[in-house]
Amino acid sequence: MDLSLSDEQKQLQEQAERFVRDKYAFDARRKIAATDRGWLPENWAQFAELGWLGMSLSEEDGGYGGGPIETMIVMEQFGKGLVLEPFLPTVVLGGGMIARAGTAAQKEALLAPMIEGKKQFALAWLERQSRYNLADVSLKATKEGAGWSLSGQKGVVYNAASADQIIVLARTAGSARESKGLTLFIVDGKAKGLSRRDYPTQDSLRASELTFDKVSVGADAVLGKVDEGFGVVEDGVDRAIVALCAEATGCMDAINAATLEYIKTRKQFGVPIGKFQVLQHRMVDCFTNAQEARSMTLMASLKIDDKDPVVRAKAASGAKVQIGKSGKFCGQSAVQMHGGMGVTDELSVSHYFKRLTMIDLMFGNQQHHLTRYSNLAMAA
């Protein structure tokens, strides 16, 4: 049992801190969010140069042999800066799923360019009726010669507009909500028959509604095995959840720091409002919540490579419950303690609040994961 960072990990942490400090001041972020893409190609190129796009992939896959701890370190700093570059959909979800389920040819065609910063990905799993159920998929893929034809809709697909390839969860057999009979396809972002409605999200990211109208793909587009895509996507999402939890701990640190600073300087009744015990205790509760969030994220990061899928699932769900709970507490408390300023667009606090709120909803909220954890714990 060892909970200390290695020297290389400490360097990575400093590197990521420096990136956020240099490139993600509050006003700079606002400008990035307002660009066409919603993220900066020069930042993405810098990620590639720093080795971040391949750091968690194995050396056989062309990566640098790191793992979930490296992802955690970088995502935490991204949370502090509310970084907009699509690291989660491209590297953690797309890259990770291709590395774990892809063929040698798929890996060669996709991972090497991803590591160099030349390809981005998106995962299209959600549909309008799915809510948090990963298996609730009605987009259909039917056999068409040697390949497949995809028809149906996907929703809230983050980074779809920038993605070179979109990984699509489709039904190839079975009935709605059945986890058997799902297949993952790697679809070109510009494929014929694929149309998009792009929009910004509450937290300044970019997402799209996708319509697939007889989109043709070859047999080599299948990621993993036909009808057995659910396990791959569930595992990929669990790993993304852990990365997202790290981002949330960074958000909580930042929002707590901003609030602490504010209550030390804002004066009412002739004293800084941080002199009032009722605010002091709420601030301490925020601090404790962030500490617990960090602990659960670390535990999940240490367990997410476990051989046992139940251990991995419990770790991801457990951490997501904590993040949902702590994120809501820190976010709402920060807004409240900032008073009127907390509900403006002018301070960073509302932006962190929005991101924390969306993180809770992403891949299943606190209640969803509590139920999932509970069922897994009861079955054990």
Q: Give me the residues that bind another protein (CB under 8 A), please.
A: 1-6, 9, 69, 260, 263-264, 274-275, 277, 280-281, 283-285, 287-288, 291-292, 294-296, 298-299, 302-303, 318, 321-322, 370-371, 373-375, 377-378
Alpha carbon dihedral 322, 373, 310, 293, in 10-degree steps, equals: 0
Q: Which amino acid is at 252?
A: M
Shortest reach from residue 80's CB to another protein, in Å: 18
Q: Which is nearer to another protein, 125 or 329 (CB)?
A: 329
Distance, in Å, from the CA atom of 219 to the CA atom of 369, rounded to the nearest integer, reads 35
Contact 122, 94 (CB under 8 A): yes
Shortest reach from residue 199's CB to another protein, in Å: 34
Distance, in Å, from the CA atom of 208 to the CA atom of 38, rounded to the nearest integer, reads 13
User: Which of these, 271, 261, 269, 250, lies nearest to 337 by C-alpha position?
Assistant: 261
Widest distance between CA atoms in the chain: 78
Q: What are phi and psi of 169, to 5 degrees?
A: -90, 120
If you search the block for the tokens 């409002």, which residue do you land on? 273
Shortest reach from residue 326's CB to another protein, in Å: 9
Tokens of 368: 């969803």
Q: Which is nearer to another protein, 226 or 260 (CB)?
A: 260
Q: Which is nearer to another protein, 322 or 365 (CB)?
A: 322
Q: Which is nearer to another protein, 177 or 275 (CB)?
A: 275
Distance, in Å, from the CA atom of 214 to the CA atom of 142, rounded to the nearest integer, reads 9
Distance, in Å, from the CA atom of 354 to the CA atom of 367, rounded to the nearest integer, reads 19
Distance, in Å, from the CA atom of 227 to the CA atom of 173, rounded to the nearest integer, reads 7
Distance, in Å, from the CA atom of 321 to the CA atom of 305, rounded to the nearest integer, reads 19
Distance, in Å, from the CA atom of 329 to the CA atom of 73, rounded to the nearest integer, reads 23
Shortest reach from residue 376's CB to another protein, in Å: 9
Shortest reach from residue 270's CB to another protein, in Å: 16
Q: Which is nearer to another protein, 192 or 307 (CB)?
A: 307
Contact 121, 93 (CB under 8 A): yes
Shortest reach from residue 1's CB to another protein, in Å: 4
Residue 108, number of CB atoms within 10 A of its CB: 13
Q: Which is nearer to another protein, 124 or 300 (CB)?
A: 300
Shortest reach from residue 371's CB to another protein, in Å: 6
Q: Which is nearer to another protein, 178 or 285 (CB)?
A: 285
Shortest reach from residue 136's CB to another protein, in Å: 21
Q: Which is nearer to another protein, 28 or 377 (CB)?
A: 377
Contact 99, 91 (CB under 8 A): no
